[in-house]
Amino acid sequence: MTTSEVSPATSVPQRDGGRRPGPLAIVLGVAALAVLVAAVTTQRFLTLDNARAILASAAFTGITAIGATLVMIAGSVVSLAASQTATVAAMVFLATQQWGLGVAIVVALACGVALTAVQGAVIGFWTANPIVLTIAAGFAIGGLATWFSGGTPVYAKVPAFDVLNAVPLGLPLAVYVLLVITVLAQWILRRTTAGRQLYLVGENRAAARAAGLPVGRVTVLAWAFFGACIAVTGVFLASFTTSANTSLGGNLTLDAIAAVLAGGTAIAGGNGSALRTLGGAVLLSVISDVLLLRGFSTGAQILVKGVLVLAVVVTVHLRSARGRR
Amino acid sequence: MIRAFGSRPERLLPAVSLLLVAIAFAGSPLLSGKALAPFDFYNALQGFAQLGLLALALGITMIAGEFDLSVVGTYALGGMLAVQTGQSAPLLGLLVAVVAGAAIGAGQGILVARLGMPSMPVTLATYIALLGLTSTLSGGLSKTYANSAATLFVDQPIAVIFSPRSLITLAGFLAAALVLGRTRLGRELRAIGGDRRASRVAGVRVDGILIGLFTVSGTLAALGGALLSYSFASANPDPGLQPLILATVAVLLGGVSLAGGRGLPLGLLAGALSVALVAQIVAITALPDFSTQLLYAALLVVIVAIDAPGLRQMIDRLRARFHGRVS
Amino acid sequence: MTEPLVVDGLARSFGGVPAVREVSFTVGAGEIHALCGHNGAGKSTVVKMLSGQLTPDRGRILIGGDAVRLKSRQAAQRRGIALVDQELSVVPALTVLDNLLLGDIGAPLVNRRRTAMARGRQVLDELGLARVDPDQPLATLGIGERQLVEIARALSQDARLVILDEPTATLSDVDSERVFAAVRRVASRGCSVLYVSHRLSEVLRLCDTVTVLRDGRHVDTSPAAELTVDELIVRMLGQTPHRLAARAAPDPDPARALTIDRLAVPGRLTDFSLTAQPGRIYALAGQLGSGASDVLRALAGLHPRATGTVALHERAVRFRDPVAAARAGLAFVSNDRKSEGLFLDKAIRWNLVATRLPELASAGVLRPRREQRSAQRLATVSGLAADRLGVPVATLSGGNQQKVFVGRNLLRDNVFALLLDEPTRGVDIGGRTAIHRLLRSAADAGLVVLFASTELEELLELGDVIITMRDGRTVGRYDGGVEGTVLMRDMTHGVSAA
């Protein structure tokens, strides 16, 4: 078997900025392996249509995952409220359709940013426990959504969102938006003061605090960006399903976290990139696709996803721990 | 009183919350217009049984300063395994579920203790994998449990308000209370949660205890799930995050600190009973679902905010500034 | 041989740097044996090896005549070795009684409450904690009382050997006396005691024998009765370091001074006042718990409960918030570069420019060229190889790491005062000289430099003004020539001038 020779830890030359090549190389190695196996064994895999399907299914989760990447790099671990926030953004988007597409998008984004940034502020300035806080926030947001919607699906009075379901060059618009957001996030992380501070705060919060870096402000910025990404996902979900009920967000929370983790971003913070998350999202999507084509159930897809995420998490941890000793 | 509350929240928080909820429960006939029946107590205890073991599993890991998200996954898997293997022999089903839960817990414990990994990502990934595994076992569908004798048995009323299921759950709490309150292990568990470095220096066998702890946590969650499936006569492959959230509320109301090191099993019991009673109040008075959701969310936010070290620092800072002006 | 403890040729190094080279001594039954040495002499490493927290590279440990390998704390406990660690190692979340029993392998599996209570009561009384209820949470006690509880735990474990590492650093004299009495009692029962302390007069009063270490080597073991504090200091230091006279004071420019007025941190620091002129280096001399480090931490915004007034360049500093303190022009270098200083996994370049990002960016966008230039200049100034800026800081030696940490705060237009806590901890000789030169040049460039240290040589070499501290208070101030022994006396036995 030649495939087994794909070494996961091929020595990528060390780049500056303290980026460790390990996790990325591992994910790429695993991905390459998966694609190879899939290509060899599954006939319908290497078709253009299938590639489109993979990208399309990666888009919704991917957009949220890119936002989650920033939050995780900043060391705030994760948010467990993404699904509910996306649902609310979708509802707001649909309910404001009569004011025109632009206004509806802006209002939905503002809503997502506001909901998420508040959580970021409590986490950044008060060092609240992000897991329990976001669980509570998810609960509250879900409750409010039920309250305001009366538990019934929200429809648009005058749909203005059709353009968002366009398929230029055979790919859904959401895929292009995912790419744009990825590039934007990558640029923020690599090229801006705030992005650099995100890495520093995530790597060593105590050091950042002692050095007088604006820990709280930087954390809020990351969460605000995350909120915007969730809202964009909500907008696309709403356009896609044309209505929004309280369960619209579905498994978005866990899928997004899985994509970020599979991309090799360290959950403890300080490491990671938007590009890796994009890779993680596509990888998970490829795996689902292959399993689907080969007739496995959704359960098996989730199982493989979970095992892969666990493997990556352990590897990333071992690498960083070794680096420190 | 306030000082005592500050120094012993693990006793006062659960006591106060249980008292308040009990008063609300006693007062619920005012809203519903119907007097409380023994059946309402029975139902509340059934709700407690549904949540209790999960809360206990989550609570004991949290006392040791860890957060085991995977308990919901183990809960679902335990329910599914019990239904699939215990159709003819319910005890066998329970055994399979419990062994699987223990194995999963032990595996995670080893990763957390031996590799020094944070428990969050490990248990999160395990949770996702377990959901997938459960779904694979069931083909993604709910499985019915045809052994009606077992279903009737676990829910049969004992002494009007109890059932075997709620009694087993209570027994779990009692056992935990004995171990945590009366043995060296309990002391060491709280020490690990309170200050892991100091515990190690003092000579506590931190790694071994953590592995054992996760094993117990997995066992309890699987047992809870299995009993629930027998009771519902079906197993749901994806219970969602709701059970985790309710269990978290129960644990935090039970006086366990998110930072670890603080908490008593009897406090956990009071916390779980509070949550179960609230659910029963909502059922009796026919309040809309979202109102409980908002109530729990508000409670969690308050607890998290109080627990946040940054908030305390801010208060200290303000106090020092004020003090500095006065003097 | 049936001596309770024999240490024979013990050696241990970290990353190639030897911390303990060759240490041998013997502790007899019922003997109170002191282990003395200046900072970096290797005391803590020896203690860690004897208590099962580190394994030796070479040498033997004999307990009751048997050579043992102590791979863990439990292994040491099983051999009858109890420990009071240098760092406070009790758990605030537990009750006092639980803390007394914690980790004791002799404690029964199932609690026997009555026995434990009676025993706990007794050990608490012995240490003067009669007012403490064993069921009280430890968190309700002060730092000194917590330390006493930890000491009580070690003394109550029926051990063959009790190791006490700086047990009295945070204790008052009254409490210390109680500890001595309890230690003597334990020793009179035949238990051996290894006593590590900086407080030399108490060492001579309490201990039977004194072993002195220097640079990881065994210097000498002699009966305490034959020693005086001054002789002990000379043995610890090799020769007595001293400073002939301070450097000429520059023209004081009050407009650029750092003025600290009645700075206080509850429980740690009492009314510290100082006007520090630019161009001079101010040294705070004090052992652990003296408050020297708390002065710096409070100034840097890391003590939210600090009170007092601080002004820099005639502007009031909001010193309870680290961001505000940094903005006011105070740069802080903590004593723990690993957990509170550097971003270890990140490249040298990132670390060097970490605190000056806004200056290297236009409208929030980083300018890579400017960043590169700035990092290179800083590397050159700090004495780091300018062509290896992409290497993670974690791969550097301690000395070079510290150069990055200090260098990060140099050449900044908006930093007016440098605060350094133990600027050369864990740094080799070469690195030390280089860092001292950096600090001198920073002062020459017009910065206020204030550092805290426990090392005599460093204090004498670098400090233009030396302020000695003990128990959270200022003891003395030396602007001119001073003997090392005087500083040492102030730091270990000094009484507040106030």
Distance CA C253, CA C195 (A): 48
Average pLDDT over residues B36-63: 91
What pLDDT does residue A325 have? 38
Q: Within an 8 Å CB–CB cutoff, is residue B276 touching chain A?
A: no
Give the percent of chain A with pLDDT over 70.
87
Handedness of CA B177, B178, B184, B185 (dihedral sign): negative
pLDDT (tens digit per residue) in A86-109: 999 999 999 998 898 999 999 999
pLDDT (tens digit per residue) in B91-101: 999 999 999 99
**Smallest Cα–Cα separation from C159: which of C346, C338, C29, C42?**
C29
Structure token digits, residue C426: 């864990």
Q: Within an 8 Å CB–CB cutoff, is residue B114 touching chain C?
A: no
Distance CA C338, CA C398 (A): 10
pLDDT at C170 over 90: no
pLDDT at B218 over 90: yes
Q: What single letter denotes the amino acid at residue B172?
A: G
**Smallest Cα–Cα separation from B213: which of B228, B231, B229, B191?**
B191
CB spacing of A18 vs C361 below 8 angstroms: no
The dihedrals phi and psi of C190, each to the nearest 5 degrees, come to 105, 0
Q: Within an 8 Å CB–CB cutoff, is residue B133 touching chain A?
A: yes
CB B128 within 8 A of CB B117: no
The dihedrals phi and psi of C319, each to the nearest 5 degrees, come to -95, 10
What's C20's DSSP letter?
A: E
Q: Within an 8 Å CB–CB cutoff, is residue B301 touching chain A?
A: yes
Average pLDDT over residues C308-333: 92
Which of A77, A136, A140 faces B120 most closely, judged by CB atoms?
A77
pTM over 0.80: yes
- More reliable by pLDDT, C287 or C409: C409
Cα angle C75, B196, C136 (rounded to 5 degrees) comes to 105
Distance CA C464, CA C485 (A): 17
C32-37/C192-196 β-pairing = parallel
Any residues with CB less than 8 A from the CB of C372 and at least 6 apart, and which? Answer: C349, C389
Confidence of residue B13 (pLDDT cuts 50, 70, 90): confident
Q: Within an 8 Å CB–CB cutoff, is residue B303 touching chain A?
A: yes
| Chain A residues with CB-CB distance to C326 below 8 A | 211-213
CB spacing of B135 vs A144 below 8 angstroms: no
CB spacing of A132 vs B296 below 8 angstroms: no
Distance CA C478, CA C452 (A): 15
Confidence of residue B225 (pLDDT cuts 50, 70, 90): very high
- Interface list for C 54-93 with B (CB within 8 A): 73-74, 76-77, 83, 85, 87-93
What pLDDT does residue C352 have? 93
Shortest alpha-carbon distance between residue C481 and chain A (Å)? 34
CB spacing of B204 vs C103 below 8 angstroms: yes
Residue from A12, A16, A187 to probe the interface with C (highest C Cβ count within 10 Å): A16
What pLDDT does residue C2 have? 77
Residue A6 CB coordination number (10 Å): 14
pLDDT at A11 over 70: no
Nearest residue of A to residue B242, measured between CA atoms? A139
What pLDDT does residue A22 have? 56
pLDDT at A245 over 90: no
What pLDDT does residue B4 have? 43
CB spacing of B127 vs A306 below 8 angstroms: yes
CB C204 within 8 A of CB C228: yes
Distance CA A105, CA A116 (A): 17
Handedness of CA B292, B297, B298, B304 (dihedral sign): positive
What pLDDT does residue B272 have? 93
pLDDT at B286 over 70: yes
Average pLDDT over residues B36-64: 91
Shortest alpha-carbon distance between residue A208 and chain C (Å)? 8
Structure token digits, residue C462: 């670098």
Confidence of residue A16 (pLDDT cuts 50, 70, 90): very low
pLDDT at C430 over 60: yes
Q: For chains A and C, what is the number of CB pairs under 8 angstroms?
A: 106
Average pLDDT over residues A175-185: 95
Task: Give the H/E segment covering residue C470.
Answer: strand C465-470
Which of A17, A191, A192 faces C350 most closely, judged by CB atoms?
A17
Which of C302, C345, C347 faces A210 most closely, judged by CB atoms?
C302
Distance CA C413, CA C157 (A): 57
Residue from B71, B128, B256 to probe the interface with A (highest A Cβ count within 10 Å): B128
- More reliable by pLDDT, A16 or C121: C121
Q: Tokens 């004194």 appear where?
A: C210
Which of B194, B314, B316 faces C93 most closely, judged by CB atoms?
B194
Task: Give the H/E segment covering residue C443.
Answer: helix C429-444
Q: Within an 8 Å CB–CB cutoff, is residue C40 touching chain A?
A: no
Please list the helix, strand and coil fractions of chain C in percent, rounded to the nearest 5, in that order: 35, 25, 35
Any residues with CB less than 8 A from the CB of C65 and at least 6 apart, and which? Answer: C1, C2, C3, C6
Residue from A122, A302, A316 to probe the interface with B (highest B Cβ count within 10 Å): A302
Which of A147, A301, A317 faces B115 most closely, judged by CB atoms?
A317
Which of A140, A300, A314 faces B297 most closely, judged by CB atoms?
A140
C32-37/C209-214 β-pairing = parallel
CB spacing of C105 vs B204 below 8 angstroms: no
Give the percent of chain B with pLDDT over 90.
44
| Chain A residues with CB-CB distance to C331 below 8 A | 212
What pLDDT does residue A165 have? 81
pLDDT (tens digit per residue) in B120-161: 888 988 998 999 999 999 888 888 988 888 888 888 888 888
Distance CA B57, CA B72 (A): 10
What pLDDT does residue A9 have? 35
pLDDT at B327 over 60: no
pLDDT at C354 over 90: yes
Task: Give the H/E segment covering residue C209.
Answer: strand C209-214
Cα angle C218, C219, C223 (rounded to 5 degrees) comes to 105
Which of A125, A261, A297 faces B140 most closely, judged by CB atoms?
A297
Alpha helices, DSSP H, located in chain B? 2-7, 9-32, 38-63, 71-85, 90-114, 119-138, 148-155, 164-182, 184-194, 196-202, 206-232, 242-253, 265-285, 289-307, 309-326
Q: What is the mean pLDDT of chain B?
A: 87
Average pLDDT over residues A305-323: 78
Q: What single letter denotes the amino acid at residue C235?
A: R
pLDDT (tens digit per residue) in B270-285: 999 999 998 888 888 8
pLDDT at B7 over 70: no
Nearest residue of B to residue A134, measured between CA atoms? B301
What pLDDT does residue C406 have? 92
CB spacing of B245 vs A135 below 8 angstroms: yes
CB B210 within 8 A of CB C110: no
Residue from A196, A217, A219 to probe the interface with C (highest C Cβ count within 10 Å): A196
Structure token digits, residue A283: 């990888």
Alpha helices, DSSP H, located in C127-172? 143-155
| Chain A residues with CB-CB distance to C344 below 8 A | 203-204, 323-324
Q: Tokens 């620092």 appear where?
A: B313
Confidence of residue C496 (pLDDT cuts 50, 70, 90): low
Of the given ranges (A284-298, C177-191, C216-230), which has the lowest mean pLDDT?
A284-298
Task: Give the H/E segment covering residue C299.
Answer: helix C292-299
Structure token digits, residue A180: 């744009």
Q: What single letter denotes the amino acid at residue C120?
A: G
CB A122 within 8 A of CB A63: no
Average pLDDT over residues A155-166: 81
Structure token digits, residue A234: 């909500």
Task: Count Cβ atoms within 10 A of the Cβ of residue C251 and give its class: 0-12 exposed, 13-18 middle, 19 or more buried.
Answer: exposed
Give the percent of chain C with pLDDT over 70.
95
CB spacing of B201 vs C74 below 8 angstroms: no
Q: Within an 8 Å CB–CB cutoff, is residue A316 touching chain C?
A: no
What pLDDT does residue A250 have? 77
Confidence of residue C51 (pLDDT cuts 50, 70, 90): very high
Q: What is the mean pLDDT of chain C?
A: 87
Structure token digits, residue A105: 């998008």
What pLDDT does residue C495 have? 67
| Chain B residues with CB-CB distance to C320 below 8 A | 317, 320-321
What pLDDT does residue A32 have? 66
What pLDDT does residue A49 have? 82
CB spacing of C304 vs B314 below 8 angstroms: yes
pLDDT (tens digit per residue) in C132-162: 899 888 888 887 888 899 999 998 888 899 9
Longest dimension (CA), chain B: 78
